[in-house]
Amino acid sequence: MKNTQTRKKASSVSKAGSAAKTGKSAKPVKAASKKTASNPYLAGTRIDPRPACKDLKVADLVDKLFLSYNAGRLREACQLYSRKMLSNDVTIGMSLAGALTPAGLGQSALVPLIEAGFVDWIVATGANLYHDTHFGIGEELYAGSPFFSDIDLRDKGVVRIYDVVFDYHVLLNTDAFFREIMRSEVFQRPMGTAHFHHIVGRFMHEREKALGLKGVSILSTAYRAGVPVYTSSPGDSSIGMNIAALALEGSKLLLDPNVDVNETAAIVLDAKRTGGKSGVFICGGGSPKNFMLQTEPQIQEVLGIKEEGHDYFIQFTDARPDTGGLSGATPSEAVSWGKVRPDSLPDTVVCYLDSTVALPLISTYALTRTKPRKHKRLYDKLPKLMEKLMTEYKAIRKKGLR
3-state SS string over the chain?
CHHHHHHHHHHHHHHHHHHHHHCCCCCCCCCCCHHHHCCHHHCCCCCCCCCCCCCCCHHHHHHHHCCCHHHHHHHHHHHHHHHHHCCCCEEEEEEECCCCHHHCHHHHHHHHHHHCCCCCEEEECHHHHHHHHHHHCCCCCEECCCCCCHHHHHHCCEEEECCEEEEHHHHHHHHHHHHHHHCCHHHCCEECHHHHHHHHHHHHHHHHHHHCCCCCCHHHHHHHHCCCEECCCCCCCHHHHHHHHHHCCCCCCEECHHHHHHHHHHHHHHHHHCCCEEEEEEECCHHHHHHHHCHHHHHHHHCCCCCCCECEEEEECCCCHHHCCHHHCCHHHHHHHCCECHHHHHHEEEECCCHHHHHHHHHHHHHHHCCCCCCCCHHHHHHHHHHHHHHHHHHHHHCCCC
- Angle formed at CA 110 by CA 104 and CA 111, multiple of 5 degrees: 95
Find residue 229's DSSP bridge partners.
122
Longest dimension (CA), the chain: 93
Identity of the residue numbered 384? K
Catalytic-labelled residue, pool 272, 289, 339, 376: 339
Does the annotation count 214 as an active-site position? Answer: no
- Angle formed at CA 259 by CA 293 and CA 336, multiple of 5 degrees: 20
Distance CA 68, CA 47 (A): 9
- Catalytic site residues? 339
